[in-house]
Structure 1
Amino acid sequence: MGKQRTIEDWQLIFSQFHASGLTVTQFCKQHKLTISNFYKWRKRIEPLPATNSENDIEFSASTDHWQAISVNHHSTDTKQWNIELTLPGGVVLNMRATS
C-alpha cells in the first residue's frame, strides 16, 4: 500500500507543482504520484475561484495547459465523422460514426 499523505503533505506537493512549470502528467511521474489522487486532492485543497456567474469558469493556462481546437469540415456528409484526441502520456482516443 502507498504512503498515506496528510493534508499538509498535499499542500506542499501543490506548492512544488505550481513552482515546477511541469504538466500534471510530468509532475506526477517525477514524484511517483497517481494522476487520479493528484486531481482528487487538488479539488479538495484548491477549489475553483468564485466567478461572476455560475457558468463562468476560469482555467489557468499555467496549470492545465488547455489547447484550443478547430473543426474542419472536409465532407458534406454529416452522418460520418471521425475524432482523434491525443492525451498526455501517449493515450489516443478515437471516435467514429458512419451511417
Structure 2
Amino acid sequence: MAGAIKRKWRRRSRDEWREVFARHVSSGLSVAAFCARESISVSSFQRWRALVALASGAADARTPARQEAFVDLGVLGSGGASRLELKLDLGGGLVLHLVRG
C-alpha cells in the first residue's frame, strides 16, 4: 500500500500520556494534526485522555464544562398590565394563538 502511514506501536505509562497531553496543549494543533505529527492514533489519544482524566478524579476531558443555557433576568417592571398577543403559524393549517391582558 503506497502512501500508507506506518505507526510503530509503543506502550506508554499514564505519566507518559500526561506528557503527551501537555505537549498537545502547548502545540496549539488540533488532535488530528498533533497525532499525525507524533505518530499516535487519534483513537488511542482520545481513549487515554479519558482514562487519565477519570483516574485523576477529573471530569471526562472530552466533555467541556457545562454552562447553563438559561439566565434568569428577574421580573420585568410593570409589563404585566400591557396586552400581549402572539400568533405562531405552525404549518399545515395549525396556528398557536396566545393572548395576555
TM-score (norm 1): 0.47
Q: Which structure carries more relative contact order (alpha carbon 8 Å, separation 6+)?
A: 1
Structure (1 or 2) with the larger CA radius of gyration: 2
TM-score (norm 2): 0.46
